[in-house]
Amino acid sequence: MIDDDARLSEMVASYLSARGLEVGTRADGATGLRALLEEAFDVVVLDVMLPDRDGFEVLRALREKSDVPVLMLTARGDDSDRIVGLEMGADDYLPKPFNPRELLARLRALLRRARRAAPAERDRLEFGRLVIDRLAREARVDGERRELTSHQFALLLALAERPGRVLSREQLFQIVRGDELDAFDRSIDVHISRIRAALEVDPKAPRLIQTVRAVGYVFTPPASER
């Protein structure tokens, strides 16, 4: 947890520790970022307002090195903070003041998502009826191969490897840049539309790949298929 409010950090650490989580705290962005890059953590609670730099700067630097789940704390909790955080790679956010029970629930959800994402290094990702074969670079629904271009498969894989995480167009571009996608001419939107047409039961009411307005896209297979 990176927050300069010592009393809050102590309270949160005590509460989470009593419920099975080992918690480390840092009071500023520099020491927090150094700890994140030098040690192994499963999830990060990051305050937006820090004494030496804002949390967005820490998040930006962290995302260049790590995909560790990040929940951001903001005193304001307004849409601009939420959208900026999500666009930069945050996985969730919580406005202050907050209920410690809600923080614990959100952290557990992030940890579950991370565990589901771990099999991404396997050759096949399976989400119920949908199977994504990383080696063959193909997607099948109920065993039937669906036609996707190389660009479209790369986008699908980038999203499916991170279920539940909102990815902006810029993030998707960075992940699949080897496929030379142009994030700024809206071509990603066209590719997503065609992926939906190939995979979804009803492309106009997508279940697998959903749009997060003003942010990007998120891969959300139904709970029974995760």
The per-residue pLDDT for range 141-186, each reduced to its tens digit, is 999 999 999 889 999 999 998 888 888 888 888 777 654 444 444 5
CATH code for residues 122-225: 1.10.10.10
| pLDDT tier for residue 89 given thresholds of 50, 70 and 90 | confident
CATH class given for the domain over 6-115 = alpha beta
Reported pTM = 0.55
Among 189, 109, 111, smallest CA distance to 197 is for 189
Is residue 3 within 8 A of residue 27, CB to CB? The reply is yes
Domain with CATH 1.10.10.10 in the chain: 122-225
CA distance 205 to 220: 13
Query: Averaged over 105-110, what is the pLDDT?
Result: 92
Q: Burial, 222: exposed, middle or buried (Cβ in 10 Å; 0-12, 13-18, 19+)? A: exposed
Pairing of strands 167-168, 216-219: antiparallel
What pLDDT score was predicted for residue 183?
A: 42
At 91, the amino acid letter reads D
- Which range is most confident: 34-38, 43-47, 185-189? 43-47
pLDDT at 47 over 80: yes
Residues 6+ apart with CB under 8 A from 117: 161, 162, 163, 165
Q: Where are the alpha helices (DSSP H) in 66-205?
A: 79-87, 100-117, 150-160, 169-175, 187-199
Domain with CATH 3.40.50.2300 in the chain: 6-115
pLDDT at 43 over 90: yes
Which DSSP letter does residue 95 get?
E
Among 105, 104, 112, 107, smallest CA distance to 18 is for 104
